Amino acid sequence: MKERIERLKKLTYIPQNEIAWLIEQAELSVKQQEIIEENKRQQEVTVHQFRQAQKDIQHLSGDRKRYKQALEKIITNLNFAITVAQNELEGDVK
């Protein structure tokens, strides 16, 4: 392709078929640029979605930790209540 461009630069008259080729190459270049732009846009969207997912995971991890702590407190309180109830029952039986 470079050789063909260099040859065309040297010509004073450019034949119709060469002009058609130049137009075709220009159109191809425009299409390639559009594809590159679309790929960049999609990449930006993907990066944004990834970052949002990371934030969501961090948020959910924090929620999980808080729920786990609350559940542990409930279990501790229930165990205490069960122990008290058992002691009361044992006291009633004696």
- Extents of the domains making up the chain: 2-93
- Tokens 């002691």 identify what position? 87
Residue 25 neighbours by CB under 8 Å, 6+ apart: 1
**pLDDT string in tens for the chain (94-residue length):** 778 777 777 877 788 888 888 889 999 999 999 999 999 999 999 999 999 999 999 998 888 889 999 999 999 999 999 999 999 888 766 5
